[in-house]
Structure 1
Amino acid sequence: MIEHNTRINTYRVSAAAAGLLAACGGSSVGDGGGLIPTTSLKALSHVSVVSGTTDSPPQAAPPSSTPSENSGSPQASSTSSPSPVTLPPSDGPAGQDSSRYTLTFHDSFDAGLDRNVWNTERTDADIAVANYAVKKGTLKIWPERGTNGEFFDRTFDTDGRFSQRYGYFEMEARLPKGKGVWPAFWLLGYKDGRRPEIDILEAYPGGAAPWGAPGIDGVPVPMMYAPVVWNDRGDQAGYTKVATPDMSAGFHRYGLKWEPNKTTFYFDGKEVYSLQVSVSDPLFPILDLWFGSASSEPDESTPTGESNAFEINYVKAWQFK
């Protein structure tokens, strides 16, 4: 994430992973099988890129704990990932030549929440209440107060279940709105002391313009997101800010083409940012809804409940042929 080390805390990812994971969390969502029809997308003429590589965001203090090592092969490493699937050309990565890719991971949530694929767990689970569900083929994560009256984070990841080096990663989702909400889709790895990270999407609806803007009801909606690349903990390679339509009003596709010496980010199939960088560790996907950072802190004005969900249609990954 932009505040990379803020997320590296005491979240335990899975029973199989010993120790604490930096900057992520986990849940249980698996290979749902069939594809969900793609929702109509906003006109790409409304998408613009606002460079942010010289406007370096603040850094948080490094974590005090060390995550467990996660072994895996350099390519599509997984203990329970779906077998490669052949899809029609229209079902390949948005804006890409699908004949150049092989599907290696696919969850459209049609079969519910598969706990053999995703992790979700909290060290302070005693305060947690229901704040996620799979309904009608989508994973929904929404703002909610715990039993202590405070908003709490929810994270889903595939640590120990699926990781991959290089390829194309894509999520189709609708974002929540409101002060304090901080939705994200990102990749993380940790091995031999390294902590590389690629943030495909992180948004701050409650942040100062142009991050967010008041909707018709006065509640701030997400109007910008940031792709970010980290070579290692505290070593940011670059980032940018992508201005968009209201991302809480409909579904959009957020993609990453990750090559040995280059990362290219896409919004609804349109390239929005490219960076010459070498990230060579296998990384695993993460979905989360956290609070704070540039989105400010949630308060009484922040909409809670399922109607204000971070709603994910699917998560997919492809490897280059």
Structure 2
Amino acid sequence: MAKVLYKVVYYYFRALSRASYILKPLFLASVLGGIMGALSSPAKAEPPGDSCNWQLTFSDNFDTLDRTKWNTVWPQYYNGSLHLDGRVRRQAYYPDSNVQTAYDPNVNSNVLAIRTAREDTIVDWLNNAVYRYTSGTINSETKFSQQYGYFEVRAKLPTTKGSAPSFWLMNFSKNLADEIDVVEVPGLQKGLEVVQNIHWEKNENPHYHLLSDGDTGSKYRTYGVLWEQDRIVWYIDGQEVFRSPNKMSSISMSLVLSNEVDGGPGNTFYDDLTQGNYPLLSLFDHVKVWSKTQQPCKNTAL
């Protein structure tokens, strides 16, 4: 078994030569964690119900980082806060270098990797403030948004104290705070539970779902949300896990992938980030979005 593992790691590094050097030691940890029997869930890649009622409106398999689809900085306005350069949020700095694509042999394709690390960054426009952590984000604000439909991500999301890797929907307006968390993995839960949530007018309806077969970092899982005018339904690996009435405004939302860094002693969501194990990689295999069509399904019966 050791010889087999050595060969896998050797050829893995050869394949990874196309990616950034900074990701090599981090991807090795991901590979070692996933090779020994932790097989990924099948890629569902379709909405619930009849497939003929859906039209694919957005898709990215992350062969490369497509900047026609994604921004790598936070939008200027977020919950009414002005971010002058889009690089600072909570307790982390967000450089472009922490968002890259690289080959992952667990899925035999490229994936998007968001790197989160404990490292200092001096921000001159904030009076030389020092941020002790870096992380990454991508979002589709100004490039893609949609009201209603089915939104899906396939991801491998290890977490640690102080981090919260996530896929979420947001309208980045100065005066609106509506948000759907398709999946969020708080550091306090150690990847054993995921949070699915809806935010509206300073209210929320969080649901904590306990996984029955390992944690969010042990394998790739498919997370989806069905957003309709009167309801929102969450799925994990094709199975419904939670539903909520839709109480948000009628607005379109953009897509966000991120790993936010926050917390301290006694924090009941992130936990104490100073006790976290960094660096960390959040891995995303694909993001897909569908909208419901008005066309009836054709009867194909003979």
Band the TM-score falls in, shorter-chain normalisation: 0.5 to 0.7
Counterpart position of 1:140: 113
Counterpart position of 1:80: none
Would you say the 8 A contact 1:177–1:303 is kept in 2? Answer: no
| Pair 1:133–1:101, CA change in 2 (3 A) | same
AA of the residue aligned to 2:284: I
Would you say the 8 A contact 1:255–1:266 is kept in 2? Answer: yes
Counterpart position of 2:207: 240
Cα distance in 1 between the residues matched to 2:276 and 2:149: 40
Find 2:185's aligned residue among 164, 188, 203.
203
State whether structure 2 residue 263 is matched by structure 1 residue 311.
no
Q: Which has the higher helix share?
A: 2
AA of the residue aligned to 1:240: H
Matching of residues 271-286 of structure 1 within 5 Å: 271-279=240-248, 280-286=250-256
Cα distance in 2 between the residues matched to 1:144 and 1:91: 31
Q: How far 1:132 moved relative to its partner?
A: 2.5
| Pair 1:171–1:253, CA change in 2 (3 A) | same
Matching of residues 1-321 of structure 1 within 5 Å: 40-41=40-41, 91-93=45-47, 95-110=48-63, 112-121=64-73, 123=85, 130-136=97-103, 137-148=110-121, 150-191=132-173, 193-205=175-187, 207=188, 211-212=189-190, 222-232=191-201, 234-236=202-204, 238-244=205-211, 245-279=214-248, 280-293=250-263, 294-299=269-274, 301-304=276-279, 308-321=280-293
Q: How far 1:142 moved relative to its partner?
A: 1.8
AA of the residue aligned to 1:134: T
Count of residue pairs brought into register by the alignment: 216
Would you say the 8 A contact 2:45–2:152 is kept in 1? Answer: no
Identical-residue share of aligned pairs (%): 26
Would you say the 8 A contact 1:128–1:147 is kept in 2? Answer: no
- SS of 2:52's equivalent? helix
Please list the CA deviations of residues 170-200 of structure 1 after superposition, one character each: whole Å capped at 9, or x if unmatched: 0000002322121111101145833211111
Cα distance in 2 between the residues matched to 1:91 and 1:183: 21
* TM-score under structure 2 length normalisation: 0.66
AA of the residue aligned to 2:113: K
Cα distance in 1 between the residues matched to 2:65 and 2:182: 23
Q: How far 1:249 moved relative to its partner?
A: 0.5
Please list the CA deviations of residues 2-32 of structure 1 after superposition, one character each: whole Å capped at 9, or x if unmatched: xxxxxxxxxxxxxxxxxxxxxxxxxxxxxxx
Q: How far 1:290 moved relative to its partner?
A: 1.1
Would you say the 8 A contact 1:152–1:290 is kept in 2? Answer: no
Cα distance in 2 between the residues matched to 1:124 and 1:171: 24
Cα distance in 2 between the residues matched to 1:235 and 1:146: 34
Output the aligned Cα RMSD.
Answer: 2.3
Please list the CA deviations of residues 114-161 of structure 1 after superposition, one character each: whole Å capped at 9, or x if unmatched: 112111126375966632310122000122134437113422100000
Cα distance in 1 between the residues matched to 2:119 and 2:238: 37
In terms of mean alpha carbon deviation, does 95-104 or 189-198 score higher? 189-198
Would you say the 8 A contact 2:186–2:195 is kept in 1? Answer: no
Would you say the 8 A contact 1:96–1:269 is kept in 2? Answer: no
Q: How far 1:96 moved relative to its partner?
A: 3.8
AA of the residue aligned to 1:310: S
Would you say the 8 A contact 2:183–2:196 is kept in 1? Answer: yes
- Structure having the higher Rg: 2
Cα distance in 1 between the residues matched to 2:155 and 2:142: 24
Cα distance in 2 between the residues matched to 1:162 and 1:105: 8
AA of the residue aligned to 2:61: S
**Structure 2 unmatched runs, 5+:** 1-38, 75-84, 104-109, 122-130, 264-268, 294-302
Cα distance in 1 between the residues matched to 2:86 and 2:233: 37
**Structure 1 unmatched runs, 5+:** 1-38, 43-89, 213-221
* TM-score under structure 1 length normalisation: 0.62
